[in-house]
Structure 1
Amino acid sequence: MSLVGALLFCNDCGGLLERCPASQANIDCDVCGKRNQNKWPTSITTESASTAFPSRLRDARSEIQVLSAEDRETWAMTTTACPQCANPEMRFRDVQLRGADEGSTIFYRCPACDYKFNTNN
């Protein structure tokens, strides 16, 4: 009988033997019928490293990530001109502050002069 890793094989035919409790001294081979000595280990410990399992997400991750101001900007851009400084683009955010049957409120912010105003739709 041959023990390979966590698998036990018959010495005569090479068939895979069923796992049996340690109290059972012999295991009969289902393929050839030969009686084999029970050499199953009582416990199996395996170890692996995270590098054994490739991950594109882990490869892309770094210890320190730096976000630019542009990465943190979550307001959408529109071509509405700023009434304060005439900047041709403004940032905006659409928020539903009133009931679902009423319009939303649009908040505008100028990236050049930081002027803010809102409109109700």
Structure 2
Amino acid sequence: MEVFNNRPGFCPSCGSILPPLQMKGNVVCFNCKQEFLPDVYIGEKTEFTIQFNTYDPTKIFSKAKRESRTADSDGPVVERKCPKCGHDKMSYATLQLRSADEGQTVFFTCLQCKYKESENS
């Protein structure tokens, strides 16, 4: 009696994950010790549809709004004083450069003079 639905890579008898497929021979379940042909890894054909966003010109900034936005910003803009020119806005980007248990590195770019600095958080 089959208790589980047959899913590729899972034992049809007990539902356990099957061992990796070898180059030759049958597949033996680690749990129930039953032996299966390699086609136990072949699932049903699955079809899916990828839907892309449609182009809607009414949702795009008008030319005036685009031009009023800060030019050449590499990311979000924050109020931060540039140590070089004194401008009060900088864009920033973050990266995880150090090990995972340490903070990320934040890179700031002045929107006026393009001065760059970094800060480890």
User: Do the two structures share a fold, i.e. TM-score over 0.5?
Assistant: no
**Structure with larger Rg:** 1
Question: Please, what TM-score do these two structures have when normalized by structure 1?
Answer: 0.41
Specify which structure has the higher proportion of strand. 1
